[in-house]
């Protein structure tokens, strides 16, 4: 399948610097605001956002057959709900309008400032209204590391792990867009040497390096999505930080899983990179042994090569890279996760968010959480300012970045950043 806007030969008349997340081959979707605009849908090219509401007002998307107001909402949900035929047509039209061979928009110099704004001059808002959020546990290296630390190195994976993508339902209300800050959460913890639990701010605040995908099409209760059809239901991906309080988690998680250890905050990157833009970076999935049940079997290259990085920015502004990983290390694909999620008839809604689970790689510098990187705090990380981290300190900003690169094209997601403030 060749997707026209993905052509590596395409060039935009807008200058795109080397290393930018937003060349003409990306064209992700988001929501922005500034002092004149409450909320408009937008795309990104180089250092600019492209205002989709203004383009619609000027008649550039007649094929949508809807009022421009669809781009004037506080989330992309109504746009996404138009269906992939239409949302992909918008990406194709943008690709044409931004192409260096096309003068249609390029020649309208007086309207440049209407359609384009510097990304540094606008605020990106939460791109979707998340009705339901699910978090999986699908990286084999992460599950192995955690099982080794907390249970038994010889039986690190629980018996179900290679037979189904383990997941749980998370909290949608506290998912925030990049740039927010939150107070260190408080809760019950039970120190190993104490007889009774104590209450206070978490001492073991952690990040989890994840991605998430957004549902593009609803299903009816009772309906299931096959792995073959799953891609029709996935609008695109973003970066995701599943903030976790490890001491609260350890005490509370048996028998029903994490609760207050994770529902205080999650952070997402502001841009949804479409599944279509990610298509050139697809790779063969993990070899799954034992063989999975028929409803989890799939055909084709369904993993994605996405380079992932995590940084801690200290108060002095220094960014310390603390790990690299890659989405390709996922054992379970998005298609399998969605097939599993709906195999019992659980219905999906537009804007639902399904997160990958912590993405760790096989090497120690590829671990996707402080828990693993410092091996439960036994091997602290040294930062440029001379301080050490076992977990995340107050005033630290954790930044996740991600990009795909192939055939001279690099597309990225924008920063997924959040700052930790002292406990209230």
Stretch that binds Ca ion, among 110-118, 162-170, 203-211, 335-343 (CB under 5 A): 203-211
User: Closest CB to Ca ion among 13 and 251?
Assistant: 251
Q: Residue of minimal CB distance from Ca ion?
A: 242
For Ca ion (CB under 5 A), the number of binding residues is 3
Residues 127-156 close enough to bind Ca ion by CB under 5 A: 135
Minimum distance between the CB of residue 202 and Ca ion, rounded to whole angstroms? 16
Q: Please tell me the distance from the alpha carbon of residue 230 to that of residue 353, in angstroms, as a whole number.
A: 14
* Minimum separation from the CB atom of position 175 to Ca ion (A): 12
Instruction: Work out which of 21, 54, 242, 372 binds Ca ion, going by CB under 5 A.
Output: 242
Nearer to Ca ion, 94 or 212 (CB): 212
- Asked if 372 interacts with Ca ion (CB under 5 A), we say no
Part in contact with Ca ion (CB under 5 A); list of ranges 58-66, 77-85, 184-192, 200-208: 200-208
Q: Closest distance between Ca ion and the C-beta of residue 266, in Å?
A: 9
Nearer to Ca ion, 212 or 277 (CB): 212
Three-state secondary structure readout of the chain? CCCHHHCCCCCECCCCCCCCCCCCCCCCEEEEECCCCCCEEEEEECCEEEEHHHHHHCCCCHHHCCCHHHHCCCCCHHHHCCCHHHHHHHHHHHHHHHECCCCCCCCCHHHHHHHEEEHHHCEEECCCCCCCEEEECCEHHHHHHHHHHHCCHHHCCCCCCCCCCCEEECCCCCEEECCCEEECCEEEECCCCCCCCEEEECCCEECCEEEEEEECCCCCCCCCCCCCCHHHHEEEEEEEECCEEHHHHHHHCCCCCCCCCCCCCEEECCCEEEHHHHHHHEECCCCCCCCCCHHHCCCCCCEECCEEEEEEECCCCCEEEEEEEEHHHECCCHHHHHHHHHCCCCCCCCCCEEECCCCCCCCHHHCCCHHHHCCCCCCCEECCCCCEECCCCCCCEEEEEEEEEECCEEEECCCEEEEEECCC
Of the two residues 12 and 211, which places its CB atom closer to Ca ion in the complex?
211
Residue with Cβ nearer Ca ion (95 or 336)? 336
Selected range binding Ca ion among 7-15, 234-242, 279-287, 289-297, rule: CB under 5 A: 234-242
Nearer to Ca ion, 77 or 244 (CB): 244
141, 206, 208, 366: which one binds Ca ion (CB under 5 A): 208
* Min dist. Cβ of residue 164 to Ca ion (A): 17
Q: Which residues are catalytic?
A: 142
The distance of closest approach from Cβ of residue 243 to Ca ion in the complex, given in angstroms and rounded to an integer, is: 9
Q: Return the range that interacts with Ca ion (CB under 5 A); candidates 206-214, 218-226, 336-344, 406-414.
A: 206-214
Least distance in angstroms from the C-beta of 309 to Ca ion: 18
Question: Can you give the binding site for Ca ion, defined by CB under 5 A?
Answer: 135, 208, 242
């Amino acid at each position: 399948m060749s997707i026209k806007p993905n052509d590596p030969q395409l060039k935009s008349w807008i200058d795109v610097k080397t290393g930018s997340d937003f060349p003409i081959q990306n064209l992700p979707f988001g929501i922005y605001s500034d002092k004149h605009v409450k909320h408009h849908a937008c795309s990104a090219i180089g250092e600019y956002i492209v205002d989709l509401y203004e383009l619609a007002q000027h008649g550039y998307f007649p094929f949508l057959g809807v009022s421009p107001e669809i781009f004037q909402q506080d989330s992309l949900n109504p746009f996404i709900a138009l269906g992939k035929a239409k949302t992909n047509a918008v990406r194709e039209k943008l690709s044409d309008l931004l192409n260096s061979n096309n003068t249609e928009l390029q020649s309208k110099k007086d309207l440049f400032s209407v359609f384009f704004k510097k990304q540094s001059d606008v605020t990106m808002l939460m791109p979707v209204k998340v009705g339901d959020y699910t978090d999986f546990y699908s990286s084999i290296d992460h599950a192995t590391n955690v099982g080794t630390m907390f249970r038994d190195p010889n039986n690190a994976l629980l018996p179900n792990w290679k037979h189904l993508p383990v997941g749980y339902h998370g909290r949608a209300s506290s998912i925030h867009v990049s740039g927010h800050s939150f107070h260190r959460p408080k809760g019950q913890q039970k120190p190993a040497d104490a007889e009774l639990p104590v209450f206070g701010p978490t001492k073991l605040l952690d990040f989890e390096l994840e991605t998430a995908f957004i549902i593009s099409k609803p299903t009816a209760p009772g309906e299931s999505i096959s792995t073959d059809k799953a891609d029709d239901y996935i609008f695109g991906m973003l970066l995701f930080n599943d903030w976790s309080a490890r001491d609260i988690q350890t005490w509370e998680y048996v028998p029903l899983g994490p609760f207050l250890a994770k529902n205080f905050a999650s952070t997402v990157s502001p841009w949804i990179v479409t599944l279509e833009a990610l298509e050139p970076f697809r790779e063969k999935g993990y070899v799954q042994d034992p063989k999975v049940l028929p409803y989890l079997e799939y055909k084709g290259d369904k993993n994605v090569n996405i380079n992932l990085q995590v940084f801690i920015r200290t108060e002095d502004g220094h960014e310390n890279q603390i790990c690299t990983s890659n989405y390709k290390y996922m054992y379970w694909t998005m298609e399998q996760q969605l097939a599993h999620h709906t195999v019992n008839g659980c219905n999906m809604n537009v804007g639902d968010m399904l997160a990958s689970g912590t993405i760790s790689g096989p090497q120690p510098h590829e671990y996707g959480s402080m828990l693993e990187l410092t091996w439960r705090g036994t091997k602290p990380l040294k930062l440029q300012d001379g301080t050490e981290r076992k977990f995340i300190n107050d005033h630290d900003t954790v930044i996740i970045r991600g990009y795909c690169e192939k055939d001279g094209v690099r597309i990225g997601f924008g920063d997924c950043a959040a700052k930790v403030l002292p406990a209230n």
